[in-house]
Amino acid sequence: MHPRAGTLALPEDLVDIDALIAAYHDREPDLADPGQRVVFGTSGHRGSAFDTAFNEAHIVAMTAAIVEYRRAQGTDGPLFIGRDTHGLSEPAQRTAIEVLVAAGVQVHVDARDSYTPTPAVSLAILRHNGAGTVAGVRTHGPGLADGIVVTPSHNPPTDGGFKYNPPHGGPAGSDATGPIADRANEILAAGWRAVPRIPYERAITSELVRRHDYLSSYVDDLANMIDFDAIRTAGVRIGADPLGGAAVDYWGAIGERYGLDLTVVNPAADPRWPFMTLDWDGKIRMDCSSPYAMAGLVARMTTSGGPAPYDVATGNDADSDRHGIVTPDAGLMNPNHYLAVMIAYLYGGARPGWPAGAAIGKTLVSSGLIDRVGAKLGRHVIEVPVGFKWFVPGLIDGSIGFGGEESAGASFLRTDGTVWTTDKDGPIACLLASEIIATTGRSPSEHHRDLVAELGESWYARVDAPATREQKATLGALSPEQVAATSLAGDPITARLTAAPGNGAAIGGLKVTTDRAWFAARPSGTEDVYKIYAESFVSAEHLAQVQDEAKQVVDAALA
């Protein structure tokens, strides 16, 4: 833990944006260094221009590869593009537009020349492709749209990110990202400067560039997701903190459009993020699930010496695909706790228009409390590998009503049971907290305490352990037979999983379960560590024992 974790950033913590952008243009990758190649993780390619991992060359190559990929797939409609508030996002978007227009692709950009949350891009793609119509969403055929979101999500200000969303509107799977990354690296090796481009000043005024009102389209459509009448009538006081991210203008528009008692706690957008408190490791990170990054908002709610200024306060990360919920009685809610509360509320009668058989979607590192809530409600729980892409088909056809990740990402269906977004949507999760307060008279944290009293309390944590690249590769390819242990923290092991039970897809790691606990180990895609997620329904001490034995199990398997 960094000694200044949770304290306001100091001038020496801030990135030099001019130097960062200069590095973006000046530095060229050395493909002999694996860290300077294009690599797509679960949320696209990420890196810093200072590390020569996110530079003009990478964006040119990735955009050209996407152009080739979408042509090969027959995707010939418009491409919706959006960016967040990171310092590298605007120059990267400009580069991408130069390549897209030169390739003859019709590009839809933000009508305000401003920031665009990830869910607003997903919504635009889906609406173009038929969401909300009798025919439903089309994912194959002529005229389909796809998209690019320029964001590294909650990563530090030095980083940039580049995501591709196919016509289904959600994060691209490995069937797309693998070929795109391979082709991008081929282009880098062959000479990225040979890729045709049109100077930005000409490209942006081209007839191929269209202005799309992402903000109004998203905000107006929220009426089909949230019971704003109930929130307004109950007078729920909302404090919304965009954490300097892409939703900075959206929250004010939501409050005005629906007549809510909503205060935008911090309307500033500064790519250095000088108003953030430092995360656990001393870095500026816009992680709305972190009590250290959210320390300022938590303090505003819980340490004023008088009544809390808001009934609920919320946070979003830089591209607004994650949510953080702060209540006066509990502070920042654990993301797993709030996922369980949302599921219990939505499936417990709040959405009668949903399909009767709509399942609950969870990643395999999310809390077992979700499974217990599902069993209580008589709903099937589909457990998938890490990555929101696994929920996309179910959200589109309505077989999944809610999909959520332990990292505070979720989306769910419209009130009529049709698809909303197929990428994570932070604002709807935040707004649902206000709806829960308005319709039940109790806070989400109070609802969580009810669930715990009925279904049992759990202790959950994630820790990192060092691993070489070779060990990470071994971990990602483990088979259940390579795990020799028969017990975990005193209980018999009930399952050794290397494939997700919900869809049979490889989890890229290992999950071990007992009747009272579980752990999962996965290699990091960006660091020389592996991550151990663990949960105990016994005690904090039992959780620590699970974590210790989990490391022993994994180390033995890697030996």
Residue 489 included in any domain: yes
Q: Is 217 exposed, middle or buried (0-12, 13-18, 19+ CB in 10 A)?
A: middle
List 534's β-bridge partners, or say none: 461, 519
- How many CA atoms does the CB half-sphere of 377 hold within 13 Å? 26
Euclidean distance between CA atoms 62 and 177, whole angstroms? 10
**Average pLDDT over the chain, rounded to an integer:** 95
Task: Name the pTM for this structure.
Answer: 0.96
Average pLDDT over residues 385-389: 94
Output the pLDDT for position 466.
83
Residue at 20 is within a domain: yes
Query: Pick from 195, 217, 239: which residue ends a domain?
Result: 217
Q: Which one of 122, 153, 320, 443 is the catalytic residue?
A: 153
- From 178, 202, 217, give the residue that closes a domain: 217
How confident is residue 557, by pLDDT bands cut at 50, 70 and 90? confident
**In sequence order, what E strands does 118-158 have?**
146-150
Q: Look-up: residue for tokens 């006066």? A: 328
- Which residue reads 């088979």 in tokens? 479
Please report, for residues 28, 72, 83, 508, the alpha-carbon distance to residue 102 in angstroms, rounded to integers and kept in the order given: 22, 18, 20, 38
Whether 507 is covered by a domain: the verdict is yes
Is residue 403 within 8 Å of 170, Cβ to Cβ? no
Domain end (from 183, 201, 217): 217
Contacts of 488 (CB under 8 A, 6+ apart): 512, 514, 517, 519, 546, 549, 550, 553
Higher pLDDT, 464 or 10: 10
- What is the average pLDDT across 472-479? 87
- At position 37, the amino acid (one-letter code) is R
The CATH number covering residue 486 comes to 3.30.310.50
Domain assignment present for residue 51? The answer is yes
Residue 188 lies in a domain: yes
Percent of the chain with pLDDT over 70: 99
106 lies in which domain range?
A: 14-217
Residue 62 lies in a domain: yes
Domain CATH number, residue 53: 3.40.120.10
Residue 194 lies inside a defined structural domain of this protein: yes
Note if 487 is an active site residue: no
Number of domains in the chain: 2
pLDDT digits (tens, 9 = 90+) for 30-39: 999 999 999 9
Number of other CB atoms surrounding residue 352 within 10 Å:
8
Task: Report the sign of the C-alpha dihedral through residues 524, 527, 528, 529, in that order.
Answer: negative
Residue 252 has pLDDT above 80, yes or no: yes
Residue-wise pLDDT tens digits, 265-277: 999 999 999 999 9
In a domain, 240, yes or no: no
> Which stretches does DSSP call E strand in 201-277?
209-212, 237-241, 261-264
